[in-house]
């Protein structure tokens, strides 16, 4: 059989280029039994990127995403501020209360010896209405934070006291304050209608117009009442009591 005959098997004619390709496919693949990383290192430079893209690109991308997530999580944990130990918010108390609240925070932090002011927050403001208008009422957000223990004290107006009581935003003064504190704030105890009471068990709020500290603040409105909200753990309870002491020392 001649070479020409071997190129005509079965009536099919193979060119020299096709024969070379068939021979290459039939030969043993020297990379078949080694790792992909070793293969990548041994490939000619021009073949490395296509091989990497086909075999490693997706896996590498996933690894980078996981690494980025872990780094972001670590950075967040390292740089996040401390948890608040006392959060006081204004409720239906407009901008005229903002400056006095800011001064109250400054004075309280100094009095309590707090080094990181972020653990005492006094800058929140909420508005609630009787009809719960979705455009003007913050009841949902307020209730969520109170339920989570994120709001400990409300500074509000006499008109709002009844609404606060109806919504269940308040804790009992007689249960949260110590007996010595109840004696110190006796002149400031009021019921849900803002009327003075002598029986601490009937007290709903503290009238801040009876607080020398509050009335000394620049522009502090007389119509201001302190309501104790959610203070279940010892840390928040202690800070709340320190605030009452500061206001009525």
pLDDT one-digit tens code per residue, 196-245: 999 999 999 999 999 999 999 999 999 999 999 999 899 999 999 999 99
pLDDT one-digit tens code per residue, 137-156: 899 999 999 999 999 999 99
pLDDT class of 131 with cuts at 50, 70, 90: confident
Q: Distance (Å, rounded) from C-alpha 23 to C-alpha 80?
A: 65
Higher pLDDT, 23 or 85: 85
Q: Which of 83, 84, 99, 167 is nearest to 127 (CA)?
A: 167
Task: Give me the domains of the chain, ranges plus CATH numbers.
Answer: 3-79 (no CATH), 86-247 (3.40.190)
pLDDT one-digit tens code per residue, 70-83: 655 554 445 556 78
3-state secondary structure of 246: helix
Report DSSP letters for 9-76, one per residue.
Answer: GGG----HHHHHHHHHHHS--TTTTS-HHHHHHHS-HHHHHHHHHHHTHHHHHHHHHHHHHHHHHHHH
Higher pLDDT, 79 or 122: 122
pLDDT of residue 221: 95
- Mean local confidence (pLDDT), 91-120: 94
Q: Which of 185, 221, 215 is nearest to 203 (CA)?
A: 185
């Amino acid at each position: 059989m001649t070479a020409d005959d071997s190129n005509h098997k079965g009536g099919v004619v193979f060119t020299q280029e096709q024969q070379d390709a068939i021979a290459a496919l039939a030969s043993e693949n020297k990379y078949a039994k080694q790792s992909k990383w070793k293969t990548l290192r041994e490939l000619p430079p021009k073949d490395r990127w296509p091989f990497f893209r086909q075999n490693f690109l997706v896996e590498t991308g996933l690894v980078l995403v996981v690494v980025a997530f872990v780094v972001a999580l670590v950075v967040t944990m390292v740089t996040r501020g401390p948890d608040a130990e006392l959060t006081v918010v204004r409720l239906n108390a407009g901008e005229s209360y903002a400056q006095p609240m800011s001064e109250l925070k400054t004075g309280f932090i100094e009095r309590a010896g707090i080094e990181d002011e972020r653990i005492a927050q006094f800058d929140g403001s909420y508005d609630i209405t009787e009809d719960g208008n979705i455009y003007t009422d913050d009841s949902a957000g307020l209730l969520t934070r109170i339920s989570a223990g994120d709001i400990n004290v409300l500074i509000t107006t006499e008109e709002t006291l009844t609404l606060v009581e109806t919504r269940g935003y308040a804790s009992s003064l007689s249960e949260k304050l110590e007996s010595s504190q109840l004696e110190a704030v006796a002149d400031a105890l009021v019921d849900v209608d803002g009327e003075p009471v002598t029986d601490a068990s009937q007290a709903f709020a503290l009238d801040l117009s009876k607080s020398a500290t509050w009335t000394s603040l620049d522009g502090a409105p007389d119509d201001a009442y302190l309501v104790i909200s959610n203070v279940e753990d010892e840390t928040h309870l202690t800070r709340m009591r320190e605030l009452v002491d500061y206001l009525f020392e």
